[in-house]
Amino acid sequence: MKKDILLVIPTLNEFGNIQKIYKKIRKSNKNIKLLFIDDNSKDGTQKIIREIKKKNKNVNYIFRPKKMGIGSAHKVGIMYAKKRKFNYICTMDCDGTHEPRHINKMLKLIKKNDLVITNRFLKENSLKDWGIKRKLITKLRYYLVWLLLGTKLDGSGGFRLYDLKKIKIDDILESKDKNYNFFWQSAFLLEKKGYRIAEIPINLPNRVTGSSKMKIKDILSGVLNLFKFFLIHKIL
Query: 68-72, 132-136, 225-229: which has the minimum mean pLDDT?
Result: 132-136
Q: Are 62 and 36 in contact (CB under 8 A)?
A: yes
The yes-or-no verdict on residue 236 having pLDDT over 70 is: no
Confidence bin at 125 (pLDDT 50/70/90):
low
For the chain, what is the domain count? 1
Gap between the terminal Cα atoms of the chain: 42
Q: 188 lies in which domain range? A: 2-235
CATH classification of the domain holding 199: 3.90.550.10
Residues contacting residue 91 through CB under 8 Å, at least 6 positions apart: 7, 8, 9, 10, 74, 77, 78, 158, 159, 160
Helix H segments across 112-175? 132-149, 169-172
Residue 68 — pLDDT band, cuts 50, 70, 90?
very high
Helices and strands: H and E segment counts in the chain: 8, 7
Rounded to whole angstroms, how far apart are CA atoms 57 and 169? 27
pLDDT at 120: 78
What pLDDT score does 215 carry?
Answer: 62
Share of the chain above pLDDT 70, in %: 85
37 pLDDT band, cuts 50/70/90, is very high
